[in-house]
Amino acid sequence: MDIQSIKNRFGIIGNSPALNHALNVAVQVASTDLSVLIVGESGVGKEVFSQIIHALSSRKHNSFIAVNCGAIPEGTIDSELFGHEKGSFTGAVDSRKGYFETVSGGTIFLDEIGEMPLGTQARLLRVLETGEFIRVGSSKVQKTDVRVIAATNRELLEFTLNGKFRQDLYYRLSTVPIRVPSLRDRKEDIPLLFRKFVIDFAERYKTNAVQLDDEAKSLLINYPWPGNVRELKNIAEQISVLSTQPIITASELRKFLPEKIVNRLPVLASNTPQTSGEFANEREILYKLFFDMKKDVTELKKMFLEILQNPSMAGTAARFAHESLMNDHALNGEQKQMYDVPAVMQQNNFQPGQPMSSGQPVIINHDDEIHQHEVVEESLNIMDKEKELIEKALKKHKGKRKDASLDLGISERTLYRKLKEYDINE
């Protein structure tokens, strides 16, 4: 079957070289039983490629099932994939067949494979290598004949380096990798896709298909499309339903595009539970946060040492700091005294022009109490800070994982994985 026939059959629009190459690889590998790893950003249509491979294979008359590994809780994914015996865990009132047993002879598509727990990865590796699996709560080895197609929007090779994904499983899955291009890498296909979508929606909603003028078409092509084909289809539907003009101008199109383009840099998570692909890697987020904190602390240390070595600056700096702190923090009398630089210098017998010896501690007296401050280089190990934040959140919420995960801005499943990773006792 030629590429154009496959595009017509599966509704694939576009003629970019990158897309055609991915389709050619899918066609070539379909007739084999090799494992395939489909890589691409969210919304590029990875599941369509799995359906193409199954439809062109010798297994096309047998079952095909798509499983989203990121949507199944860690505690039940083994049961879903491999089945379980009656009484093997709380709630297992009957024996149950897993997907690898029911789809034997067919194809199983494992989407978001990067979210699969390490224990389940070991079970999957055994299936790929020997075709054997064991139900949860059983000791009986069973056989299955399933072709595995996996997909991910993550860089699994990086996951193998930090222990989040088994290296042996990665190389076993990626026997034949297929990289589906993002929409911004196939800009010549954007007008074709948009035209196809607006025609389909015009038929569905009994309206006339809208058209873009040249400026609007240029804006559409140069928009980065972080959501890829899924986002483009969504925008086309909005325009088809809400637009009152048959010709869409650039100014009209901008009303439907997000005001702020979503960037791919780490951002601080909100209190909304985290889902796969929704936020950047948690360690990158923490790294940015602690880098900014270290920068601020370094600036404060530098300013304070300059004041101690040049007391003539103390009056101006103290007034500035006093006004800022009073406005920002509404300090009480005791806190204001702590930031009174001239008073601190007087208590420590500093004289104008007197040099500050390296490493000399600063002693501040408050009601006959002596506090010493020494410059200590704080730890910037990201894993230590992440562990510390998790422990604080658990302590704050008295060990309640759900509340702690909401406070941290991560999913309860991710929190559970990190508790095991850092060996945190609740």
pLDDT at residue 419 greater than cutoff 60: yes
Interval 307-336 mean pLDDT: 54
CA 202 to each of CA 195, 211, 212, 250, 412: distance values in angstroms, whole numbers, following the listed order: 11, 11, 15, 20, 42
**pLDDT: which is higher, 231 or 397:** 231
pLDDT at residue 262 greater than cutoff 70: no
For 113-160, strand residue ranges (E) read 132-134, 141-143, 147-152
CATH assignment, 267-305+374-426: 1.10.10
Say which range, 97-111, 278-292, 362-376, has the weakest mean pLDDT.
362-376
Instruction: Look at the alpha carbons of 37, 39, 42, 47 in this order and tell me if their dihedral is positive or negative.
Output: negative
Report domain extents, the chain: 3-181, 184-254, 267-305+374-426, 306-373
What's this model's pTM, rounded to 2 decimal places? Answer: 0.60
Interval 301-323 mean pLDDT: 63
**pLDDT: which is higher, 386 or 185:** 185
Element (H, E) at 309: helix 282-309
Confidence of residue 378 (pLDDT cuts 50, 70, 90): low
Interval 276-298 mean pLDDT: 61
Mean pLDDT estimate for the chain: 81
Res 368: pLDDT = 45
Q: Give 25-72 pLDDT, tens digit per residue.
A: 999 999 999 999 999 999 999 999 999 999 999 999 999 999 999 999
pLDDT at residue 356 greater than cutoff 80: no
CATH 1.10.357.10 fits 3-181, yes or no: no
Res 74: pLDDT = 87
- Read off the amino acid at residue 221: I
CATH assignment, 184-254: 1.10.8.60
Interval 140-152 mean pLDDT: 96
The Cα 189–Cα 182 span in angstroms is 11
pLDDT at residue 189 greater than cutoff 50: yes
The Cα 151–Cα 92 span in angstroms is 30
**pLDDT: which is higher, 360 or 221:** 221
pLDDT at residue 267 greater than cutoff 90: no
pLDDT at residue 250 greater than cutoff 50: yes
List, in order, residues 6 or more apart from 170 with CB less than 8 Å away. 156, 157, 159, 160
For 263-383, strand residue ranges (E) read 362-366, 369-373
**pLDDT: which is higher, 78 or 426:** 78
Q: Tokens at residue 29, please?
A: 């590998």
Interval 246-272 mean pLDDT: 68
Interval 280-307 mean pLDDT: 67
